[in-house]
Amino acid sequence: MSERPNSRTGTALETSQWFVFLLASAVALPIVIGSIFNLNFAEVAGLMQRTFFVVGVTSFLQGMFGHRLPIMEGPAGLWISIFAVMAYSGAEAGKSYMETLQTLQAAMLWTGGFLLLFGVFRLAHRVLFVFTPLVTGAFLFLLTVQLSGTFLRGMLGIQQEVESIHLGPAAVAFLTFLLVLGLSIFGKGWLRSYAVLLGIGAGWLVYEAIIGTSQKDTGNLGAFSVPEWLAWGPPVFEWNVIPLAFITAVILLSNIVASVVAVSHSIYGKPTFTYNQINQGSSFLGVTHGVSAMFSSIANVPLASSSGFINLTGQKRKRPFLYASMIMVVIAFFPPLVAFISGIPSPVANAALLATFVQLMGLGLSNIASENLDERRLTILCVSFLLGIGLMFLPSEVFQGLPGIVQNLMSNGLLVGTVLVIFMEQLWKESNQSS
């Protein structure tokens, strides 16, 4: 007997759940960027519209022609850090926020160019030797640590300007978190398969009933509009962002590998990929960075949290994922729909995402534990985690006295921690352990 509805009904339900996952993963970070750069409601609404469009386009391109796996392309946590740091460093240099955003568009184009070259010239797979289980596991662990703070703030209702917990939203958020987690672990059949969809739906209803939502005025929104091209203005190319773009491109190769490893493990029961898959993934990640930059949104990357979603729901087919990606593209042309869907309460969306990260962190720890944790590996992990996670707790302003390129690198704990694991493991060979 099938565990979920068959045929068209099953495909429709799986598509709906993928769509909700794509949506929940895309909704929160444009709001974060809006608060960092003091964007008004109209600008945030435009950014949300462009984000939905870019997420749909890039996810479809990668699923069809890139790595060809059901991995969502979504706003990158790594790029959120870069946006935040450059906002502070740009302000210190006397730039307006819009000028900084134009520089960031150029940085995304540079990064995309490097990734495209890595893939076209088949260089991406040549660095696979550095992405050992220790490196991919450490990357996944650091990624979950970095984004868990963002999700938890969203669950607690903490805004940038109000540093206090909102008990009502927090209670509904934790109810949603426990419901999604409980259904995914103890649910049977379709209850487990649609845990994320059911959790967000129930959480939204409870939130509306107990707290209600302040509906924003959408009267000025037209029924149909095309996502705006270069909404922040033309890219401004500066030489000092090229080293940052190159290092970011290299780190994003570890993102591709970690995502492909995680999702292939979820689908096939073991990590499996080809060199061609990694090269194509790199090429199309370069293309998707270009799409993100030209539509003035946050650069998208393959989200390893897709594996957590697949583990939670048991949904392994690619077709519903591609359908959901196309739906994201279509709704981006209808601003009232974007406004309505964006009405999913932030605490509820963040709670559902945090639940998928439980599986992702577990996968990271499993990768780390797949090899013998001798003194060498433990030392590498501990040094990298202590410094990488420690940097995550430091406010970006503390780096203002340093040169711009150093600011952009040192303020990103995920980047620093991953680079440390890679370099320490390559420089400290296992043969040094022999007595």
Element containing residue 302 per DSSP (H, E): strand 300-302
Q: Which two tokens stand for residue 327?
A: 């739906």
Give the phi and the psi of residue 75 in degrees, each rounded to 5: -55, 130
Decide: pTM greater than 0.85: no
- 10 Å CB burial of residue 109 (0-12, 13-18, 19+) is buried
Asked whether residue 245 carries a pLDDT value surpassing 50, the answer given is: yes
Q: What pLDDT, in 10s, does the model give residues 388-417? A: 999 888 876 777 777 766 776 777 788 889
d(CA 149, CA 87): 20
d(CA 147, CA 139): 12
Asked whether residue 219 carries a pLDDT value surpassing 70, the answer given is: no
Predicted local confidence at residue 118, as pLDDT? 93
Asked whether residue 221 carries a pLDDT value surpassing 80, the answer given is: no
Q: What pLDDT, in 10s, does the model give residues 153-182? A: 878 877 655 567 778 889 999 999 999 889
Give the phi and the psi of residue 373 in degrees, each rounded to 5: -85, 75
Q: How confident is the model at residue 435 (pLDDT cuts 50, 70, 90)?
A: very low
d(CA 71, CA 306): 6
**The length of the chain, given as a count of residues:** 435
Q: Which two tokens stand for residue 170?
A: 């927090």
d(CA 127, CA 118): 10
Query: Which DSSP state fits 87?
Result: H
Between 18 and 159, the higher pLDDT residue: 18
